[in-house]
Amino acid sequence: MTEKQFTIIGIGEILWDLLPTGKHLGGAPANFAYISNQLGNQGIVLSRVGDDEFGNEIIDELKFKEIPSEFVQIDAENPTGIVNVKLENGQPSYEIVKNVAWDFLELSESWCEITQKSDAVCFGSLAQRNEVSGKTIREFVGVTKGLRIFDVNLRQGYFSEGILEKSFELANVVKLNHEELPIIVKLLNINGASVQICLEKLIQRFELNLICLTQGANGSLLKTRKEFSEHQGLKIKVADTIGAGDAFTAGMIHGLLRNWELYRINEFANRVGAFVASNTGAMPDFSRFES
């Protein structure tokens, strides 16, 4: 692509997804950075791996996929993160191993420097499960400029009212899915008679620029303070849905940074997400993607 490259950062977990078919590089920030790169931006992942074989393989895989690896920290004490993944009808279930390297992110000098170059940073709730990484992520996001995207990503009870409250307060863009919305409105005491009212109340309470609700095969809702866009989704043959949400986020941010119309952002994000879902794994070859 010939458009301007934006520096887009994913901060948080990086790991191996251990699927029945083998291991695949994963973690929402890594997936997000990879897709951002494929769309023509400078996608960077900030994370941490163990000083072990799995960690070395992650660094090699990042280089192979042309994702910068210099912002991935090496942990001499804790192992590289892994997730045991089971698939049923293309839908994944996860067992996320605790006390791994990405639970202990540090705000290094190189990380501080890159905050000044960031056009967008995406963070989630999972990597904040340990207070060490949670504090680091919130400090990092708090000094970045540009878009601050909270991609909720509730997993295995690794979230709390406090994590959600702090993350919403930091963000100016939030993305969540239809299964997460009822949990969030309950924890944050948001009362609304409809989905749209709940989204509107979240925008007002946290002074968001945009909130996005994804609905799986049924598309997505994008809402700003003044506009609303609904997309019905695309009919595809699903290979698996691993990373499809992260791909949607990358597509959405790609359009937001270019000031596209809301309906165009919604359409493009759905196409990026659908493309990933129609392929195996979170980081497919994008040479067949039609932008």
Q: Which of 3-7, 33-37, 99-103, 179-183 has the lowest mean pLDDT?
A: 3-7
Mean pLDDT for the stretch of residues 156-161 = 86
Q: Note down the domain range covering 270.
A: 7-277
Q: Which of 15-19, 27-31, 274-278 has the lowest mean pLDDT?
A: 15-19
Residue 241 lies in a domain: yes
Instruction: Note the pLDDT tens digit of each residue in 184-237.
Output: 999 999 988 799 999 999 999 999 999 999 998 899 999 999 999 999 989 888
Cβ(118)–Cβ(145) under 8 Å?
yes
CATH of the domain at 43: 3.40.1190.20
Residue 291 lies in a domain: no
Instruction: Note the pLDDT tens digit of each residue in 253-289.
Output: 999 999 999 999 999 999 999 999 999 888 988 988 8
Residue 2 lies in a domain: no
Residue 288 lies in a domain: no
Q: With the CA atoms of 168, 172, 176 and 180 taken in that order, what torsion angle do they form, in degrees rounded to the nearest 10? A: 20
pLDDT of residue 205: 97
Residue 65 lies in a domain: yes
Residue 1 lies in a domain: no
Residue 282 lies in a domain: no
CA distance 121 to 44: 9
Number of domains the chain contains? 1
pTM metric for this prediction: 0.93
Residue 286 lies in a domain: no
Instruction: Of 52, 153, 56, 40, give the one whose Cα is nearest residue 137.
Output: 153
